A and B are shown apart, each in its own frame.
Chain A
Amino acid sequence: MRSVGALLCLEYAATVYAASGEASRPRGVGPECTLKPNANNVEAHIRVLACSRAPFSPLLTNSPPVAKFYKDASTFSCISNPSIILPLSRLNDDYCDCPDGSDEPGTSACSHLSSLSPHTSADHSRTGSNISLALPGFYCKNKGHIPTYVPFTNVNDGICDYTLCCDGSEEWDHVGGVKCEDRCQQIGKEFRKLDEARQKSLGSAGRKRKELVLEAGRLRREVEDRLQSLGAEIEGSEMKVKQLEAELVEVERREKGKVGRGPVQKVGKMGVLVGLAKQRSEELRETLARVREERDASRGRVQELEGVLMTFKEEYNPNFNDEGVKRAVRAWEEYAARDKGPEPDAAHDRDLDAITQSDKDNGLDWAEYESEDGEESEAVVLHSFETFLPLSLRTWLDTNLRTLRTTLIDSGILADTSSTSSSSTSESKAVQAAHSRLDAARQDLANHHKSLASHQEDLASNMGPEDIFRALKGQCIATDSGEYTYEFCFLDKTTQKPKKGGGHTNMGNFVRMETVLVDEDVDEKGRGLGKGDRIAMRFEGGQHCWNGPSRSTLVVLGCAEVGEVWRIMEEEKCVYRMEVGTPAVCDLAGVGGGGGGGRGKEGREGRDEL
């Protein structure tokens, strides 16, 4: 852990450098100071940090505006309250004189000057109620590495804070015998090595991001192209639909007048009956199939519910002495013990299978009866009568009969066997074909419209800066945590999968992109969100929790070379937070920026005791 922490600190220091506009290598740290108690000091507890110019030089390198306060060779004025003038002997003497703590840059004597500490009138003697420190912390020179500030609360507490102060100088008083050796050489070396790797990784992440942007652009163009072609296709489809509608009208008109010679002609009572019977039979069959489906679904639900209750009974906590729960368990036990009625019966199901097969398979061929009926129908009689007539007469008769028939049909005396209002089976092939052509064309058109809308929506939706998540949409990253595997799919959903098997739990479906302010650690490999605004995806409406809300997840994204889930937390019951690394949020140049990874300036500030 120690080395991990140490590297974190190094990173931090890097930012200090960045902040001061210097190159990323430590340079000279100004006048040399020694951090040892004044050897001549009679009172052991009074520490004076001997130094060539100022009693202590905490800020000379990095904060020239503050360093000037320590330059005066005779007296010191508190930074925020210059009216308070102290002799130099009161600098770093482990007693807090300045209301802003500026007289103790090297000790913890003023560490209580913080709004987080309780204060009494004695602390307010000079300050009033506005208590804050003028300095960001104890300055660690960290020669061989990068200078940094350590919170004053950590100075001389007997613990080597190598995470921040690799030279161990914050434990200069060696309280309780603690000796913090200077580890800056080693830590600095490791840091530089890792930093190099990080830079490399960042460069690579940047390239990956570029690729993703390119890919996203390509995908976007695809969508745009598709939108264009869809426009043309829709025009075509619309024309086609119109054309086919006209065609259908024509076909129907023609068919209406045609006296049926076709095999499907059905008129008369028997024909009507057979038509109705067939229709009815089909309806019943359909209904049976549907009811059966519903039954199966319900049976599945009952089984699932019984499983839930079984688990409930096994896992509930009787200690809660909750009568409601106990009653529920008792009711369940009674229910479970009772006769459940007939078990699913295979023979019965086979019967149902048979029944729901088509009539033909059951040996009932409606066509047979239809053709038989046809022979007996009036039309057939007429036609057979026709055959005995001479051709000219026959043509006359035919024409007149058709007119008569049309008249009769129109007046409602005869059944209209060819109109669309009757069952499709009784339509003529031509009409059927026309219909299906039209339906297909309409379906095509609807699909095109739908596709158009979804593509338009897709283009308009927020997929991150430069549309980058378009390239990742639907891609998933998983990690193991405890007994679960957690999966996050970009712009899609989050899922919890038990390792021991069992159903997956939806932890939310994507609803929107957000920006969240974070303040998290970054490890030595650069994993972590750092501090600042980060892109996040909000997932809601996942599986409902027992005694809780629907599951939801906030996925916060940080920069990483490869996609990985860093952390998963249940912040409160069924409200999850995932921290995920992805190259998609790295700055294009591959260094720092809003992409996180803690390399930006904002990744630092949290470490200072201000």
Chain B
Amino acid sequence: MSGSQWELPPELCCRPMAFVALTGLDVTYNAVHRAIWDAFCANRRADRVPISFKVLAGDHEYPKCRTKRTSYEWYIPKGILKTGWMNKHLNLVPALVVLFYELDWDDPQWKEKQSECATKVEIVRTSLQGRNTKVAVVLIQKKTPLPPGEDLVASERASSLCNACDLSGKSLFVLPHTDHLVGYIIRLENAFYEHAQTYYYTEIRRVKSHKEFLNKTTHQLLFVRHQFKIAFFSELKQDTQNALKYYRTAYSLVHELRAHETNMLEIKTMAGFINYKICRLCFQHNTPLDAIAQFRKHIDLCKKKIGSADLAFEHTAWMSKQFQSFGELFDEAIKLGLTAIQTQNPGFYYQQAACYSQDRKLTAQQLCQAGAVCPIPDPLDTPTGGLDFYGQRAWRQGHQSIDPPDPEKERTGILALQIKERDVPHSELIIALLSNAVAQFKKYKCPRMKSHLMVQMGEEYYHAKDYTKALKLLDYVMCDYRTERWWALLTAILSTALRCSYLMANVKDYMTYCMELLGRASTLKEEQKSRIEKNLLKVLKNEVPDAEPDCEPSGSSAAAALWKDRMALSGSNEFSIEVQDYVPFIQCKARFLAPSFHVDQPIQLQVFLRADCPHPISFNKLSVSLSNQCYNQWCVVEASGQDTMLLTPGETSCFSFNFVAKTQDVGKKIEMTGIELMLGSGRWVFLSWRGAGGDAASAHEALQASRSARPRGPGAGARPEGAWDALTIQHSTMIISRVPKISVQLSHQPPALNNEMYCITLSIQSQEEGVAREVRLTAGLKPGQDANLSQATHVTLDRGQVCDASDPALLPDIPLGDLNPGHKVEQRVYVRCVSTGPRVFLFHVAYSINTSVDGQEIDCNCHKLEPLDRVVVDIPFVLMTDLLSSSPWPLLLHSSSLQLVTMATCTPHPLSQLEQVVLQTGECASECFCLQCPSGAEANGTVATGQYVISWRRESSSLDTPLVHTTVPLPHIPLENIPLYIHAELPSFGRVRETLPVRYHIENRTALVQQVEMAVEPSDAFMFSGLKQVRLHILPGAEQQMLYNYYPLMAGYQSLPQLNISLPRCPATDTHTLRRFLPQRIFVKPQGRELDDASIAAA
């Protein structure tokens, strides 16, 4: 048996195809034959019929057919299935033998050739004696045949050839060697396929016919064999549905066999084969659930059939193979388009296969003694070099009774198998299966399963003594478990990794794993930690550590030698270990005492250290590196002389550092870039933390501590854990400038008004001890605001005149001289804002004292007032201006005036109505002007009205303050001409049930006679007398009057009856445009009370 005896035979795993043998083709020397053969085998795609072709010699010997048994009465089968059977029918016994022969219908030597052909057919027939294999003849012809029935010679000669060769007409084919070779070949192939199917059909019938001769007691094996054969022939016939049916029957029959220790392997082997076929067909039929169900059933049935206890590893090997081959089938189906899901994918089967392989390894280790020697002669050798039946023992082939024939032979046989098993590279098998599974789980989004399998792979590599690969895998997944905080799993992985690194004498890794195993994330027991710490201390002293307890002795002694070599190498005795991403046994947290320090204060920095290991640990040096390396020298603490610094387990040690910042660093951040702790004597190890300490677990602990309801801080001394967790890291601090000892006060009255010369008084008082030299003031608009503001804001120091556009928005560095301690200086600044809106002003005072420069900023806002306007028309109209004061301060209006452009005032010299008026906040001043547009103005355009100028100042300001002139442009007004002007004359109010006379004046303003149609609409509120509807003509320039007597019926504001006017000549002018000239409503007073009074008097 070969080492891979558990592999499924290839003839089982392939897809069975009808076997057709081609003879009479000389593919080496004859180009025509070569072309024909190529046409048969090239491009065998799915659309071609499934046939496997083989070229055989004309006199090829086919496997001999044994004489058919007529009775099964005395026949006792020796096994279930012969090992050669499948291969025989796939590759050796053809369903059809095709004889190719070059012969044209009009060949001059027809007779001779015909008899030669007949002889060749006879030879083939003889070698197929007893088989049902069909024979067919293909004549290779040079000429294109005529259509059937036209060539009389051909049909006559064809029938004579058939007679001579004893062929039916259906088995004779003609292959003209012309241009359309492939087309002919495909037609030939289809004909062959039909013949092959008939052959397999008869084979199935033949096997089925045996059934009646069998009896249930002695021929149980044959039932299985026959069903398997029928199913296999069905597959060859491409009848997969029936094949599946027969395989299923075969499967249930195989489990009905009487099973005992001697034939268990045979039964399981066959069950495995049949199960494989069933699953394969189910996947092929796209019924994956059936496949999975069958497989589960198979496993459940076979799980407990262990067989001989001495060969228990065989069972696990077989189980592993079952899972593996199902996984492969599943995977293959997925490649062909099946979709798998997270919880049902090939990975699980590979994983289980690996699991059984691990079991196999364990049982093999138990059962196979190391010292055993292979017995001679080897009981596994067979005369043929292989087995006759699948799943049998080499030393008792064909034996079917319950008891082994020879216990001694049995014993040596088992021993030989055990020795063989000993040499199997188990770890390789397991790792291959695991890596298959990893690939699958990666595909189906199972990161944790993947990690778990990688751990198993790592452990397997460890067992296989490939420590480098083991460490690589374990290192890779460790970080996943660490971030997910599964400490128990992490500890287990670390322990394996520690053993690997010990056996490799990898000092750095060994120390790293030790440190993490000693840390608080490790779930190891105290005594184990203690042992590890002792080892670590040894390594730190450059000594050889003790062996890890679970390592095998031979490995440990080799490792000890490696460590000794290491010790001798003095050059590489310094190690730097980045511990930030682990959970090391020394925790470190550092903080600046404040988020910012003034440059004149010393910067304070604290480093906290805490050891989690069981025994105290000493260190030599602690150093902090900062973003500005000049300060590093101040942040080092070093053990002096012999005594080292000691960290007591469970206690927090605090180290404080102070240093003074440099003035260049004002405004900069100082950050801790790293902390380094030096351990060891003889071998030096630098533990380094990036930033300000902390590790993979500390962030979560800090979060938990902050959530905790328990008291923290100074009072939590009883619970040092909580205090440590609550320590927060402050990894950077800001260096800020010295606080200026100077007071700056601004006095002003916001808001500033538009155009006003707004005064801001600034007083600066020194509180410095010494003289403040070179005091300079920067005043004006703060830069960085809207760019337009700098155009609209002007600052000056000169109060005498209104500043204009030439003045800047910001006055920089106004020198104010020196300032003695306690002295005060004042400065006025005038600001003029041309537009409204908030402004931020900057007042910056700078001075020098003892080489430190300081400043201060003050903000102020600026406001102004806003005017409003109205619309006008072209007949006499009123322009009304409303002036609303939004200033919080009272304003004195000095005067106001209109500067008109096209308009004319109706009053010759309009006086300002607002002179000397004082406006309080929110008050409104209105002014009316009656204006008229001269008639010559162009119609249908807009016309500028003019400007409105107001002079004002604050009421509180002194008289000499210049007046502010605010100019408001008045809006443009659209002009239009109208043909008809209408206005109404009516009293200011009416009274219920008293006559209300209304006279309408209608004026024609055109040079044409206008026809006017007028109608008054009825209204609920009024009765009226007058012309309800009228049509009249008005001469150019003339005026028509219409008089109505309205009679109000209701009191209150009432809409007047609507007057509808239309001009048939001028459709553009209608009621709507004219209506605005007419009053719409009138107030109607109720009737007097006199009547009531009279009635009371009468009573």
A in complex with B: no
